[in-house]
Amino acid sequence: MPYPLLMPCRSRATLATLMLTLLCLALPVSARAEGARTAAEWLARLGPALNTTSYRGVFVYARGDQVQSMQIAHRFRDGMVEERLVMQDGGAAEIVRRGADVVCVLPDQGRVRLDQVVPSGPFAEAVNRSFMPGDRWYDTRLMGHDRVAGHKAVRITLAARDRYRYSHELWLESDTGLLVKSQVQDADGRVLEHFQFTSLTLTDDFPEDAFTLPGKGRETRRMPTDGTNAVPGPAAAPGESSPGATTRMDDWRLGWRPDGFEPAATPPSARQHAVAYSDGLASFSVFVEPARARDMPEGVSRIGATTVFGRVRDSQDHRYRITVVGEIPPEAARRIAEAVTMRGPGGS
Amino acid sequence: MDDRLRETLSAMMDDEADELSVRRLLSHPDQHQVQEQWRRWQQIRDVMHPGPASSGRVDAHGLDVIAGVREALDGAALDRASAAASDAPAPARHRWRWSAAALVMLSLGVGFGAGAGWESGDDPVVQDVALKGLDQEQWAQMNRYLLEHAQHNSVGAGRGSMGYARLVSVAGHAY
């Protein structure tokens, strides 16, 4: 029995000693304390834990010089995820999710309901598997214990082994494996984005209306997130004005991608055409659309760890805009965008 | 210094100082006040975490700080150079030793100012797009990409809420 902990605090010095003792107990300890559990085993828990843990809390999310505080409620019940994410300051953005049905309430756009994107059968397996050989793409190390938002957590570092991905540092809650803190760093060690719970309650107990949509906002349109509404081929009419109604091109292929990135999401259309790729940790999405006059400029935009790279490409009589969005370095996004080739009648 | 900033600092106290705190500090308009706050913060930290400074942890007083940070910088550069010379994979552990202390002092003392080097192009091949120059329609386009990417991430790749957090963050920033 640790003797000092049982002593009444008679003086400031004793109190300080007690506090320091407690602090020392909370400091990171050797990875050996985790017993046989390896970084790979922890990472294998990460994906399921993100979905199947029920919790509520507040987390801060910072990238660049922007900091947002968000309230989250997440319930896993009857095999379905319900989640509500509310921005705490500025704006009124809110996201409510029931299974794959996601409604996003943005201040300027009213409600936007997202169409479903499902992982295809074989690809889903690839995603689950992708964390296991993570050592090929990341130097993975278990760094011991830490505390985040009052919860014991294990800290894992994943250092990129090539220049096509960022390095990550993850803190997983010890009991559930839930991600409670993460950082993304570039090759120079700069932290590009930071996510951390400041309060967290692991609970199944939620109020009735915890996951219902707020009364405000109107549902303006469905936003296609896949190729189902796209008219295939370069005959698709460019020039539409609504940003939510852009025609998605389906007749392209990706000639190159960084090693380790496997198809992660495909639209439910028949073509089984992947639009998103993941290495188990980072991911990127590829969008191909007819170019419009008022598109974003070509080039790269960076918001924290997210890179948005756009370029316009001519293919016979038609102009296309290729956009790569992902938590990958700009150089990787550029190479991916340049590896997109059109096929079919208008292809080159 | 507003309550929210204090709260954030407070929330970070039992953790290692980190980039989040740094960013908040840097976005504060009164840098003198920030330095004072930082000094107090550092004193509290010294009380809470006594003993020899861990790697990357520096004292907030005087010029030694900047020297120490420079030394750390040079050391990291040397490490990288030697790793490159031996043609070995980059030694990962060096990347993790960047403490917020070092970053704050870099920011305040050596001029790594808010936003500087953040969205500026260090890759000559890739042209930067200034986000602030986008009009409303282009912002909407950007949001749409991020939204769909978040959707791919969350549902397709099983990444949970992180993708949405990214999106909401941008939405809050843009409007």
**pLDDT at position A163:** 93
From the list B23, B96, B153, which residue is nearest A67 (CB)? B23
Q: Are A85 and A94 in contact (CB under 8 A)?
A: yes
Task: Indicate whether B13 pLDDT > 50.
Answer: no
Q: Are A320 and A312 in contact (CB under 8 A)?
A: yes
| Residues B162, A195: C-beta atoms closer than 8 Å | yes
Report how many Cβ contacts below 8 Å link chain A to chain B. 286
| Residues A198, B155: C-beta atoms closer than 8 Å | no
Task: Indicate whether A199 pLDDT > 50.
Answer: yes
Which of A68-82, A152-166, A190-204 is least confident?
A: A68-82
Nearest CA in chain A to B19: A191
Q: What mean pLDDT is predicted for residues A134-139?
A: 82
Q: What mean pLDDT is predicted for residues B95-113?
A: 30
Q: How far is A325 from chain B (nearest CA, A)?
A: 7
Quick: pLDDT tens for B40-89. Answer: 555 444 443 444 433 333 333 333 333 343 344 344 444 545 544 444 33
Q: Which residues of A touch B126 (CB under 8 A)?
A: 299-300, 309, 330-331, 333-334
**Cα B127 versus chain centre, distance:** 23
**A62 SS3 class:** strand
Helical axes B31-48 vs B3-13, angle rounded to 10°: 30
**A132 SS3 class:** coil
B113 touches chain A (CB under 8 A): no
* Rounded-to-integer distance, Cα A305 and Cα A327, Å: 5
Task: Indicate whether A168 pLDDT > 50.
Answer: yes
Task: Indicate whether A204 pLDDT > 80.
Answer: yes
Residue A321, H or E segment = strand A318-326
Shortest CA distance to B175 belongs to which of B146, B142, B139, B151? B139
Which of A53-67, A228-242, A268-282, A310-324 is least confident?
A: A228-242
Integer CA distances (angstroms), A2 to A6, A12, A68, B29, B112, in order: 7, 19, 41, 47, 46
How many CB atoms neighbour CB B22 within 10 A?
28
Across chain A, mean pLDDT equals: 71
**pLDDT at position A238:** 35
The first and second tokens of residue A179, run together, are 């991600």
Quick: pLDDT tens for A69-79. Answer: 778 888 988 88
B73 touches chain A (CB under 8 A): no
Q: Look up residue A237 and give its DSSP letter.
A: P
Provide CB contacts within 8 A for A206, sequence distance 6+.
A54, A56, A73, A75
B77 touches chain A (CB under 8 A): no
* Rounded-to-integer distance, Cα B94 and Cα A149, Å: 26
Supply angle C-alpha A143, A145, A150, rounded to 5: 140
As separate numbers, helices (DSSP H) first and strands (DSSP E) second, chain A gives 6, 20
Q: Is the ipTM of this complex over 0.90?
A: no
Q: Are B56 and B16 in contact (CB under 8 A)?
A: no
Confidence of residue A203 (pLDDT cuts 50, 70, 90): very high
Surface-to-core class of residue B95, CB atoms within 10 Å of its CB (0-12 exposed, 13-18 middle, 19+ buried): buried
| Residues B126, A330: C-beta atoms closer than 8 Å | yes
Task: Indicate whether A338 pLDDT > 80.
Answer: yes
The residue that leads in pLDDT, A202 or A272, is: A202
- Whether pTM exceeds 0.80: no
Supply angle C-alpha A154, B104, B90, rounded to 5: 55
Q: What mean pLDDT is predicted for residues B117-138?
A: 54
Confidence of residue A305 (pLDDT cuts 50, 70, 90): confident
User: Long-range contact list for A202-207, CB < 8 A, 24+ apart?
Assistant: A202/A53, A202/A54, A202/A55, A202/A151, A202/A173, A202/A175, A202/A176, A202/A178, A203/A54, A203/A55, A203/A56, A204/A54, A204/A75, A204/A77, A206/A54, A206/A56, A206/A73, A206/A75
Q: Where are the alpha helices (DSSP H) in chain B?
A: 3-13, 19-27, 31-48, 64-85, 100-109, 136-151, 162-174
Shortest CA distance to A179 belongs to which of A334, A81, A12, A51? A51
Across chain B, mean pLDDT equals: 48
* Rounded-to-integer distance, Cα A179 and Cα A185, Å: 17
**pLDDT at position A96:** 79
Q: What mean pLDDT is predicted for residues A271-280?
A: 70
